[in-house]
Amino acid sequence: DTAVSQTPKYLVTQMGNDKSIKCEQNLGHDTMYWYKQDSKKFLKIMFSYNNKELIINETVPNRFSPKSPDKAHLNLHINSLELGDSAVYFCASSQGQFANEQFFGPGTRLTVL
Amino acid sequence: GNSVTQMEGPVTLSEEAFLTINCTYTATGYPSLFWYVQYPGEGLQLLLKATKADDKGSNKGFEATYRKETTSFHLEKGSVQVSDSAVYFCALNKGSNFGNEKLTFGTGTRLTIIP
């Protein structure tokens, strides 16, 4: 039973296109996140949502728009894709207090040509 | 702001060698500290954590002790195995509000264990 799942696993697209990545968690957590991992493995948070409300937005270009239809889902839509958007995107979730573990999805590798 | 500095990789060791991966942090107050591991082609998994000074986190033979005086959280294992080959991330969490838990990661250290 997958705890945090993402689709698709791989996404190859042309510059200028619009694409979405979906994330679902079945852990009953109230907080979800999107992270970007670049080619050097550096991980940086992009967004977090708590109970469908945006909490963290880390100076991400407004071409990136997260959407949380309910507590179990956090989707990421990217408009006008650029070469620099190529990366692995990870979804994660946690429950409440700041000491708690975050559970990560398997990642979506986005390649922009 | 908060930051995490960890040992540059890659690190290559022989099986059964002793492992240390250094991690130091900068943060105000009392962050929680974590080590996450990323196996090839997978997402990150929590390896161990410590939430206050002098706490020792341990799991799967790995240990790290929260040292406030040196602002460090070094990862150690006495005898590594080939299956430990992965990328290891040190991280801290300094959220103060409900839903504001933000993990700040180090740059990751790639570990390769050769038989």
C-alpha dihedral over A46, A51, A55, A59, to 10 degrees?
A: 30
Peptide bond into B10 cis (omega under 30): yes
Distance from CA of B94 to the nearest CA of A (A): 7
Position B96 scores a pLDDT of 57
Per-residue pLDDT of chain B (115 residues; tens, 9 = 90+): 789 999 888 999 999 999 999 999 998 878 899 999 999 888 899 999 999 999 999 999 999 999 999 999 999 999 999 999 999 999 998 765 555 567 889 999 999 999 9
Cα A1 from Cα A41, distance rounded (Å): 27
Measured between alpha carbons, how far is A22 from B110 in angstroms, rounded to an integer? 28
In whole angstroms, how far apart are CA A76 and each of A86, B72, B100?
14, 35, 19
Q: Is any Cβ of chain B less than 8 angstroms from the Cβ of A43?
A: yes
CA distance readout (Å), B20 to A5, B8, B23, B78, B103: 32, 12, 10, 9, 22
State the smallest CA–CA distance between residue A98 and chain B in angstroms.
Answer: 5
Chain A residues whose beta carbon lies within 8 Å of the beta carbon of residue B95: 98
DSSP, res B7: -
Q: Which residue of A has its CA nearest to B106?
A: A42
Classify the phi-psi angles of A55: left when phi > 0, otherwise alpha if psi is within -120 to 50, otherwise beta: alpha
> Does the pLDDT of residue A9 top 80, yes or no?
yes
